[in-house]
């Protein structure tokens, strides 16, 4: 999955074989949670969905709406926001920052089977209540949002959640229900504080089907040459697909060795933050 509201970038990503182009309308509460952090804070709109829809021909168009909220101060309530997103062309609607099954029920009802439903698990309460939440009929997929979840848990580095079984337990809960799941983000092969190749292997180890392509994969806002951006997408996706083929054939021992390597790297990163 790749986040952009730029039609040119979306078309490049689509042609490169990225599975989902992501419009990010979430802003409610985000500044309070992440205001002092170097994180991606988008404020895309319904108009962005309409503008980008014609350029997304192979991938699905994913829209992250705001957390469940009421109408007020010129802001449409959740039901109206979801209606507008679907009418504008969303194939998948993502719900962030929920805590309870009741919120998920309201979300699923609002979508009304007109698009796929994707839950972004990124609060301690959602992780704790995951079995009850996944009992709600109409949930198509979940994604474990490592950034906000590690902040809510008081952790220092998002990939600590791979080392303490947080991600594993949520994934297993989804697997038991027959619901697709993914987690976190990845950079290009060979890049990232925790290099992408280790993370990709753990995706296959846990049976994950989705990852976000991070700014470390391609920060299109900082690359001025469109040809360079296109090359980053084409080469980057190709290298990821090749790594996927390799790790898909790992033995259990190789997966365990890979996870142990992740733990070693994460430990060093956390120690450096102390």
For the stretch 40-50, pLDDT in tens is 556 899 999 99
Q: Looking at the 3D structure of the chain, how many domains does it have?
A: 1
Q: Is the pLDDT of residue 220 over 90?
A: no
The domain in which residue 139 lies consists of 2-273
**What is the CATH classification number for the domain harbouring 58?**
3.20.20.60
CB 176 within 8 A of CB 135: no
What is the C-alpha to C-alpha distance for residues 50 and 17, in angstroms, rounded to an integer?
21
**Residue 201: HSE in the Cβ half-sphere, 13 Å Cα cutoff:** 21
- Distance between CA atoms of residues 110 and 65, nearest Å: 12
E strands in the chain: 2-3, 20-24, 60-64, 92-95, 116-121, 141-144, 180-183, 185-186, 212-213
Whether the CB-CB separation of 22 and 6 falls below 8 Å is answered with no
Average pLDDT over residues 56-69: 97
Looking only at the bridges linking them, the beta strands covering 180-183 and 2-3 are: unpaired
Band of pLDDT at residue 21, cut at 50, 70 and 90: very high
User: 175: buried, middle or exposed (CB in 10 Å: 19+, 13-18, 0-12)?
Assistant: middle
The whole-number pLDDT of residue 224 equals 72
Q: What is the pLDDT of residues 91-108, one digit of tens each?
A: 999 999 999 999 999 999
- Is 171 in contact with 207 (CB distance < 8 Å)? yes
Each residue's pLDDT tens digit, 222-259: 777 778 889 999 999 999 999 999 999 999 999 999 99
Which residue shows structure tokens 């080392």?
163
In Å, the largest CA–CA distance within the chain is 56
pLDDT at 40: 57
Residues 85, 44: contact at Cβ < 8 Å?
no
For residue 219, the model assigns a pLDDT of 79
Are the beta carbons of 97 and 122 closer than 8 angstroms? Answer: yes
Confidence of residue 37 (pLDDT cuts 50, 70, 90): low
> What rounded mean pLDDT belongs to the chain?
93
Q: Would you state the pLDDT for residue 29?
A: 82
φ/ψ region of 15 (left if φ > 0, alpha if ψ in -120 to 50, else beta) reads alpha
Q: What is the 3-state secondary structure (H, E, C) of 198-254?
A: HHHHHHHHHCCCCCEECCCCCCCCCCCCHHHHHHHHHHHHHHHHHHHHHHHCCCHHH
The number of C-alpha atoms within 13 Å of 111 and in the hemisphere containing its C-beta is: 27
pTM of the complete model beyond 0.85:
yes
Distance of CA 27 to the CA centre of its chain: 16
What is the C-alpha to C-alpha distance for residues 257 and 35, in angstroms, rounded to an integer? 37
User: Which residue is associated with the tokens 């980008």?
Assistant: 52
Give the mean model confidence (pLDDT) for residues 166-186.
98
Q: What pLDDT score does 36 carry?
A: 53
Mean per-residue pLDDT for 136-161?
97
d(CA 206, CA 203): 5
């Amino acid at each position: 999955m790749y986040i952009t509201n730029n039609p040119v970038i979306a078309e490049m990503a689509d042609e490169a074989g990225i599975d989902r182009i992501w419009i990010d309308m979430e802003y409610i509460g985000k500044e309070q949670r992440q205001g002092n952090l170097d994180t991606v804070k988008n404020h895309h709109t319904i108009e962005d969905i309409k503008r980008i829809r014609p350029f997304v021909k192979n991938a699905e168009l994913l829209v992250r709406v705001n957390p469940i909220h009421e109408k007020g101060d010129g802001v449409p309530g959740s039901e109206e926001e979801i209606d507008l997103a679907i009418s504008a062309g969303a194939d998948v609607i993502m719900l962030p920052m929920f805590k309870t099954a009741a919120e998920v029920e309201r979300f699923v009802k609002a979508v009304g089977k007109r698009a796929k439903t994707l839950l972004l698990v990124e609060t301690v309460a959602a992780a704790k209540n995951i079995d009850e939440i996944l009992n709600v009929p109409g949930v198509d997929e979940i994604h474990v949002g490592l950034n906000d979840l590690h902040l809510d848990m008081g952790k220092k580095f998002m990939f600590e959640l791979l080392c303490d079984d947080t991600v594993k337990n949520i994934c297993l809960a989804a697997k038991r229900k027959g619901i697709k799941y993914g987690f976190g983000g990845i950079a290009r092969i060979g890049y990232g504080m925790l290099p992408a190749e280790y993370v990709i292997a753990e995706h296959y180890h846990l049976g994950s089907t989705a990852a976000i392509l991070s700014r470390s994969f391609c920060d299109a806002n900082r690359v001025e040459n469109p040809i360079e951006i296109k090359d980053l997408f084409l080469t980057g996706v190709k290298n990821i697909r090749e790594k996927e083929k390799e790790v898909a054939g790992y033995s259990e021992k190789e997966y365990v060795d890979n996870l142990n390597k992740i733990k070693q790297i994460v430990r060093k990163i956390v120690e450096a933050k102390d």
